[in-house]
C-alpha cells in the first residue's frame, strides 16, 4: 500500500528568516522544505515530544521476483 502523501499548507515567513533558512539548507545539502522539517523535529524533540517517521515511498524499479 502506498504511503500517504505529505501534508502541504501555505506558510508565510519573514524574508530575512527565509533567506537564513536557504543558507542553512544549502550548507546541509537540503531543500528549504526538508530543512524546515528537520528543524521542527529537533524543536519537538527538545520539548520531549516524540514524532514518528512515516514510511518513505519505495523508489526505483520493482524487483524482478516481485512480478
- The pLDDT tens digits for 13-45 are 999 999 999 999 999 999 999 999 999 999 999
Q: What is the 3-state secondary structure (H, E, C) of 2-62?
A: CCCCCCCCCCCCCHHHHHHHHHHHHHCCCCHHHHHHHHHHHHHHHCCCCCCCCCCCCCCCC
Residue 20 lies in a domain: yes
Would 64 be classed as within a structural domain?
no
Number of structural domains the chain divides into: 1
Per-residue pLDDT at 66 exceeds 70? no
Percent of the chain with pLDDT over 70: 90
* The overall pTM is greater than 0.85: no
Instruction: For residue 45, tell me if it sits in a domain.
Output: yes
Does the residue 8 lie in any domain?
A: no
Lowest model confidence (mean pLDDT) among 8-12, 17-21, 32-36, 52-56: 52-56
Domain with 46 in it: 13-50
**pLDDT for res 1:** 47
Amino acid at each position: 500500500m502506498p504511503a500517504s502523501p505529505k501534508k502541504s499548507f501555505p506558510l508565510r515567513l519573514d524574508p530575512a528568516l527565509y533567506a537564513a533558512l536557504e543558507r542553512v539548507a544549502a550548507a546541509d545539502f537540503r531543500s528549504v522544505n526538508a530543512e524546515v522539517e528537520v528543524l521542527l523535529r529537533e524543536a519537538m524533540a527538545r520539548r520531549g515530544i516524540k514524532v514518528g517517521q512515516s514510511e518513505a515511498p519505495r523508489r526505483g524499479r520493482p524487483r524482478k521476483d516481485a512480478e
